[in-house]
Amino acid sequence: MNMYDIGMVGLAVMGRSLALNLADHGFRVAGYNRSRAVTDEMTAHWPHENFAPFYQLEELIDALQKPRRILLMVKAGEAVDAVLRQLVPLLEPGDIVMDGGNSFFEDTRRREAALREKGLLYFGVGVSGGEAGARRGPSLMPGGDRAAYEAYVRPLLEAIAAKAADGSPCCAYMGPDGAGHYVKMVHNGIEYADMQLISEAYLLLKHVGGLDNQEMARYFAEWNRGELKSYLMEITADILREPDDLTPGELLDRIEDSAAQKGTGRWTSIEALRQGADVSLITAAGAARVMSNRLEQRAHAATLFPAPPMKQAQDTAAFAETVHRGLYAAKLTAYAQGFALLRTASEAYGWGLDLGAIAAIFRAGCIIQAVFLDDITAAFRRNPDLESLVLDPHFLSEVTARIPDLRAAAGAGLQSGVPVPALSAATVWLDQFRGAPMGANLIQAQRDCFGAHTYHRTDRDGVFHHEWGAQQ
């Protein structure tokens, strides 16, 4: 039968959407799902002349052109290993398996090594953009064997990827083994920070600025026409306007103050600690979600801890502009932290990540797409060895000019008891980065005092240990 270009294993929302995207671009897609009902639902509701359902993995494999290309869209974790245990015995050397789920990069490295021993090629493919992106054009982050990518994977993925304003596909080879899923992990970490920062801007405008949802929607829509233009800003304005379908008013006011997470932001923070990198905004955003889930505990604590008086902004428009400018500085700080982690990981794992190419594929299709990613791409093109985005001349000027606004926005939240952990983290990080005293001399003195860990002096070279208290 060898008629089909690619096999799609997993036909739930994301798998179905990618399968239809591939079919739209002329690829013949063979689809399989463990549950027959899911496959039947797809063929009934989304039929396509370039898609055919299969109900046995063996039949799907037999229908693929060689070398076979299979894209897994199943739940990350054990489900991927379970599918591979079924799939691998059916394949031949040279066949290609791509995992498009949110797999942990270390799992991808393990699977890539195991399949390589059998002569099979394994790719971890980061996919961003949600259902709509998968259907119409996602941002794609593939990692695996370079030669196989160029010959067999690139034509598929570049065809279905989102296209940036300059027409280039939002897909690029990331590096070997787990590089693609690592980049997707950090993308998701930045996404956590970006969403948290926007939510803090919303809280400040609502409680300190005294604005209602419709007024805030106008500000967010206005900001989305300038330097903060992004997918997340766009949907925030729309969400603020959305009427409740069950009661009068806007839906946002009826949604429980609790946000879920799937763990990729937490992975980013853990990996940053392993690599000795600072992603404090991402960590603050993850911790904020954890705290948001403790609804009963928060409700009880609200009866015990007094809240400070709300300091209402006297000039609402001026305060909104302060929040606007501070939000830009904080967002850039979050991206700077994420890209710095990518640089550190690239060196640690020997991946050779191209940070400019990574920024370029984030320009469309993905959740963190934003107009300033053009500037980020340009910054890394100017200087591929740039240690931090905030040191690029363009961003240095932009962030420096907005630090007073960031400090004022974070301060307004702290004074009025409005939680702004990510804005605060951005302020602290920039203060630390600019060389402000951090008290680390006292910490090192404590370490030497209780553990003889030694220290360096500011007035002479060498390593020193002091007999603390001996001269008293």
The CATH number of the domain holding residue 22 is: 3.40.50.720
Is position 469 within any domain?
yes
The answer on 92 and 54 residing in a single domain is yes
Tokens representing 179?
């590089």
Within-domain flag for 288: yes
Same domain, 147 and 204: no
**213 and 64: one domain?**
no
Per-residue pLDDT at 155 = 96
Question: H helices within 161-212, ranges in order?
Answer: 179-203
Q: pLDDT tens across 136-149, in order? A: 999 999 999 999 99
Query: What pLDDT score was predicted for residue 379?
Result: 97
The pTM of this model reads 0.94
Q: b/e for 19-35, b at 16 or more Cβ within 10 A?
A: bbbbbbeebbbbbbbee
Evaluate whether residue 182 is within a structural domain: no
List CB contacts of 213: < 8 A, sequence separation 6 or more. Answer: 240, 241, 250, 252, 253
| Res 308: pLDDT | 94
Judged against a pLDDT cut of 80, whether residue 65 lies above it is answered with yes
HSE-CB for 183 with a 13 A CA cutoff: 37
Would the pLDDT of 352 be above 90? yes
Q: Is the residue at 372 inside a domain?
A: yes
Do 262 and 128 lie in a common domain? Answer: no
Q: Residue 330's pLDDT is what?
A: 98
Provide mean pLDDT across the span 260-275: 90
- Say if residue 232's pLDDT is above 70: yes
Averaged confidence pLDDT in the chain: 96
| pLDDT band (50, 70, 90) for residue 151 | very high
In percent, the amount of the chain with pLDDT more than 70 equals 99
Q: Catalytic residue numbers?
A: 184, 191
Q: Is residue 184 part of a domain?
A: no
Q: In which band, very low, low, confident or very high, does the pLDDT at 114 lie, cut at 50, 70 and 90?
A: very high
Helices (H) and strands (E) in the chain — how many of each? Answer: 20, 7
Whether residues 131 and 96 share a domain: the answer is: yes
Domain boundary among 147, 177, 207: 177
Distance separating alpha carbons of residues 238 and 332, to the nearest angstrom: 23
pLDDT tops 70 at residue 176: yes
User: Residues 205-214: pLDDT tens digits?
Assistant: 999 999 999 9
Confidence of residue 2 (pLDDT cuts 50, 70, 90): low
Q: Are residues 402 and 455 in the same domain?
A: no
Same domain as 243, residue 117:
no
Structural domain that includes position 160: 6-177
Report whether pLDDT(263) > 80: no
Same domain, 228 and 295: yes
Domain shared by 20 and 108, yes or no: yes
Same domain flag for 24 and 146: yes
H helices of 350-420, in order, are 355-361, 373-382, 393-416
CATH of the domain at 235: 1.10.1040.10
Q: What is the structure's pLDDT at 170? A: 96
The answer as to whether 69 is a domain residue is yes
Q: How many domains does the chain have?
A: 3
Is 127 within the bounds of a domain?
Answer: yes
d(CA 332, CA 126): 22
Whether 313 maps to a domain, the answer reads yes
**What pLDDT shows up at residue 302?**
94
Q: Given this model, what pLDDT does residue 1 score? A: 52
- Residues 459 and 366 occupy one common structural domain: no
Same domain? For 378 and 245 the reply is yes
Q: Which residues contact 209 (CB under 8 A, 6 or more apart)?
A: 313, 316, 319, 320, 323
